[in-house]
Amino acid sequence: MTRRQRSVPRGPALLLAAMALLAASPALALDIDHTALEELFGEPVTTSATGKPQRASDAPVGMDIITAEQIRRSGARDIPAVLARYTSLDVHQYNASDYSVGIRGYATPMTPRLLVLVDGRQVYLDHYGYAAWDAIPVQLSEIRQIEVVKGPNSALFGFNAVAGVVNIITRNPVHERHSSAVLRLGTGRYREASGVASAPMGEGGGIRLSAGLRGERNWGRGYTDFEYGALDAGRDPTRAQVAGEVRFPLGSQARGSIDASYGRTISAPFADYGQFWREDKRIWSLRGRVEADTTIGLVEGQLYRNSFRGLYAATPFVTDHSVTVAELSDTVKLGAAHTLRPSLQYRHAVMDIGASEVGYGVASVGVMWNWAFDPQAETTVALRYDHLWLRGKGYDNPDFPYRSADYDREFGTLAWNLGLVWRVSDQDTIRLSAARGVGVPTLYDLGWRDSYPDFGYQDTGNPFLKPTVVDDYQLEYGRRIEVIDGRFVATVFHQRNSGFSSGLSAATHFPPDVAYETYSPYNLGRSSATGFDLSVKGRLAEAVNWGVEYRLASVSSEFRPSLLDPKRASPRHLVSARLGWSGGPVELDLFGRYASQAQGFRTVDEVGTVLVRSKDHVSVAARLAYHVTDRMTLALEGENLLHQRQEQSFALKAERRFYLSLRSEF
């Protein structure tokens, strides 16, 4: 397969030049030391809400922040499982390694609505528009915290942050010395080895290396014969990952970093059209960053490229995808009360499927303004304009409805976030927010193309597909409750959506207009979601911690018929509860989760599709750990404990599994 590289656009070149100038200035950087700031303020700090560093309690949007300690005690092996145990996010697990994660509904398989980043670098895959959770090159023990923004945040992160953002923050090697190794064996032939080494290096520098190997037997019940036979969907998933980062000082107040990662994952993800298909994906990334504390503010620039290659069972076709992002921002505090954060970004994404290639460039300009107009109240306004230029080549086959010239188009979108935080008293906080997020159609929906004459049909992307636009409104009340040493939070939300893609779920063109019955994406229409989140968590005498999260999402829609059902993809009710105890060298943690019924379509053979409902269910996970020494922990972990096999989604039946892990820190 050939891959054509486009010439470097002017936008990135200008940004690079600007970054170089800033890096050469006498300005100096201050890398954010999460550990020191968290110790100082007694709560997590984040940059995921507005781009400026702020305390979690000051963020103008609803957030969940999961700490390294919680991750360690979760007993989970995957990031989505961690999210399921500490939040009321929509987390669906379809087989031993495949997940979909959504926020407040619409969590279809491979949902395109959640933007996932690692230290600000997107790991969301633009080509199919989803996060391949099993291919994120991060080991759980190197994560400092997982920051979850509930609601659109396109004004900060751009396209695809329509339901929310998950930003995975790793340990900063400049400030944290951390080395650990994990060995884990379990039922289902589970075996895992991973290691992380992070250490300061010289004055203001640091290095972090991580690697992980993992394999297991896939879940065994629920495949269609076609999936199992032709698509190799029952293959046991394996993964191998390696990542590294070097941070170094650039003068006395600037710092640079280079990070890279490579991972290979062989698994059978559950596609949005309801089918498992074995995929061999290789993903690698390279990024350079500069941070500088200058006279004009805290200047940050980054340039990175993610590349993807996917090979699939039953087809010789290869999918190549890459995204290159250059961005520059300046966060500056003006006077005592105002913080501004202007930003520029250029993104170039391309998907090459052999005979044809589709891609786009997106130039963006945005600004965030935070105004602390009262010691107890502040407001945030963020605006961002994105302009997209779409291009395609190799689409001139007359058998299909669209030509290459149809891809020569462009459009612009405006995203915004408004937020108000009012600390009514030392115990009470009110948040009010409104936001518009925009999700760009995936490259797959825009430009996929294949043909199956033997079966009498063909697929093609639709270059005229419109973006998904989400308007979101939230009101949150939070109260610190001393008697439980904890906090209660209630959030009411209302969300209006337009757009949605049908994917390749329904035929749209028929002979004689085209050679064969043709499946092409179209916009499904409008939908709204209304509901509320409740959260209460507390501690008892430092030995016991507990929490309960509840989410109700009531979804209504005016969708055109299709074989994709975002409306009912997520359960209406979700409850997540946890109870942890520690005494001496022993830790015991229990996690329960309830989900009401959901439904989706399953593709049962080459062309047949059926509607499948999953029942409401309760699942339980647990971890019992013993600290053999201060630096070595032995843990017995279990998941799906209530049943040997349990129907938790409309895909495979979840299996009960046990794991024995040995974690050593040195």
Partner 1 sequence: MSYRNRPGLFGAGFRTGCRGSRRAVLLLGIGLGVGGIFGPGRAEPGLRDLQVAVRALAFLEEPPVGPAEIGIVYGENSVEGLAQALRVAASFGDGLRAGNLTLRPRLMAVREVRQGGVVALLLTDSALPHAGRIAQAVARTGIVTITAGAEAAEPGTTVLRVRASPRVEIVVDRIAAEAAGVSFAAAFRMMIQER
The residue among 7 and 425 lying less far from partner 1, judged by its C-beta, is 425
Nearest partner of 328 among 308, 342, 309, judged by Cα? 342
Which of 3, 14, 16, 41 is close enough to bind partner 1 by CB under 8 A? 41
The least distance separating partner 1 from the CB of residue 427, rounded to whole angstroms, comes to: 7
297 near partner 1, rule: CB under 8 A: yes
**Where in 471-510 is the site for partner 1 (CB under 8 A)?**
480, 482
Which stretch, 46-54, 123-131, 140-148, 591-599, contacts partner 1 (CB under 8 A)?
A: 46-54
Strand-strand pairing, 54-55 and 357-374: unpaired
Which stretch, 165-173, 226-234, 290-298, 648-656, contacts partner 1 (CB under 8 A)?
A: 290-298
Give the contacts of 66 (CB within 8 A, at least 6 positions apart): 82, 83, 86, 87, 145, 146, 148
The residue among 426 and 454 lying less far from partner 1, judged by its C-beta, is 426
The residue among 31 and 459 lying less far from partner 1, judged by its C-beta, is 31
The least distance separating partner 1 from the CB of residue 543, rounded to whole angstroms, comes to: 21
The residue among 427 and 554 lying less far from partner 1, judged by its C-beta, is 427
525 near partner 1, rule: CB under 8 A: no
The least distance separating partner 1 from the CB of residue 399, rounded to whole angstroms, comes to: 57
**Which residues does residue 589 pair with via DSSP β-bridges, in sequence order?**
580, 623
Contact 350, 321 (CB under 8 A): yes
339 near partner 1, rule: CB under 8 A: yes
45 near partner 1, rule: CB under 8 A: yes
Which of 55, 191, 403, 645 is close enough to bind partner 1 by CB under 8 A? 55
Contact 130, 124 (CB under 8 A): yes
The residue among 329 and 557 lying less far from partner 1, judged by its C-beta, is 329
Q: For residue 641, give the H/E element and its range.
A: none
40 near partner 1, rule: CB under 8 A: yes
The residue among 3 and 479 lying less far from partner 1, judged by its C-beta, is 479
The least distance separating partner 1 from the CB of residue 34, rounded to whole angstroms, comes to: 11
Which of 2, 5, 21, 375 is close enough to bind partner 1 by CB under 8 A? 375
Give the contacts of 341 (CB within 8 A, at least 6 positions apart): 50, 51, 52, 329, 330, 331, 332, 367, 368, 369, 370
Which stretch, 334-342, 450-458, 527-535, 649-657, contacts partner 1 (CB under 8 A)?
A: 334-342
The residue among 228 and 422 lying less far from partner 1, judged by its C-beta, is 422
Nearest partner of 193 among 151, 229, 145, 238, judged by Cα? 238
Looking at 75-175, list the stretches that DSSP marks H as alpha helix, in order from N- to C-terminal side. Answer: 79-86, 154-157
Which of 2, 7, 336, 542 is close enough to bind partner 1 by CB under 8 A? 336
The least distance separating partner 1 from the CB of residue 368, rounded to whole angstroms, comes to: 11
Which stretch, 36-44, 394-402, 492-500, 634-642, contacts partner 1 (CB under 8 A)?
A: 36-44
Q: For residue 16, give the H/E element and its range.
A: helix 10-24
Residue 36 CB coordination number (10 Å): 12
Kindly write out the interface string for residues 242-271 of this chain, putting x where it contacts partner 1 by CB under 8 A and - elsewhere: ------------------------------
Residue 303 CB coordination number (10 Å): 19
Residue 551 CB coordination number (10 Å): 27
Which of 36, 365, 628, 642 is close enough to bind partner 1 by CB under 8 A? 36
The residue among 37 and 418 lying less far from partner 1, judged by its C-beta, is 37
Give how many residues touch partner 1 by CB under 8 A. Answer: 33
CA-CA distance, 338 to 375, in Å (whole number)? 12
Which stretch, 37-45, 257-265, 312-320, 395-403, contacts partner 1 (CB under 8 A)?
A: 37-45
CA-CA distance, 113 to 163, in Å (whole number)? 5
The residue among 44 and 234 lying less far from partner 1, judged by its C-beta, is 44
Which of 54, 141, 322, 535 is close enough to bind partner 1 by CB under 8 A? 54
The least distance separating partner 1 from the CB of residue 389, rounded to whole angstroms, comes to: 35
Give the contacts of 476 (CB within 8 A, at least 6 positions apart): 62, 429, 430, 431, 432, 433, 489, 490, 491, 492
Which amino acid would we find at residue 215?
A: G
293 near partner 1, rule: CB under 8 A: yes
Which of 11, 48, 49, 58 is close enough to bind partner 1 by CB under 8 A? 58
Which stretch, 3-11, 42-50, 538-546, 583-591, contacts partner 1 (CB under 8 A)?
A: 42-50
Kindly write out the interface string for residues 419-438 of this chain, putting x where it contacts partner 1 by CB under 8 A and - elsewhere: ----x--xx-----------
The residue among 41 and 546 lying less far from partner 1, judged by its C-beta, is 41
Give how far Cα 213 sits from Cα of 123, 160, 663, Å: 19, 30, 15
CA-CA distance, 17 to 643, in Å (whole number)? 59
**DSSP code for 59:** -
The least distance separating partner 1 from the CB of residue 277, rounded to whole angstroms, comes to: 45
Give how far Cα 373 sits from Cα of 331, 332, 335, 421, Å: 18, 17, 12, 11
Which of 11, 52, 124, 278 is close enough to bind partner 1 by CB under 8 A? 52
Which of 42, 316, 561, 583 is close enough to bind partner 1 by CB under 8 A? 42
The least distance separating partner 1 from the CB of residue 43, rounded to whole angstroms, comes to: 8
Give the contacts of 8 (CB within 8 A, at least 6 positions apart): none
The least distance separating partner 1 from the CB of residue 337, rounded to whole angstroms, comes to: 7
Which amino acid would we find at residue 23?
A: A
CA dihedral over 557, 562, 566, 572, signed as positive or negative: positive
Which of 13, 193, 337, 642 is close enough to bind partner 1 by CB under 8 A? 337
Torsions phi, psi of 565, nearest 5? -130, 80
Contact 393, 355 (CB under 8 A): no
Which amino acid would we find at residue 179?
A: S
22 near partner 1, rule: CB under 8 A: no
Write out the two tokens for 114: 């959640």
CA angle centred on 326, ends 122 and 285, rounded to 5°: 45
Footprint on this chain of partner 1 (rule: CB under 8 A): 30, 32, 36-37, 39-43, 45, 52-55, 57-58, 293, 297-298, 331-333, 335-337, 339, 372, 375, 423, 426-427, 480, 482
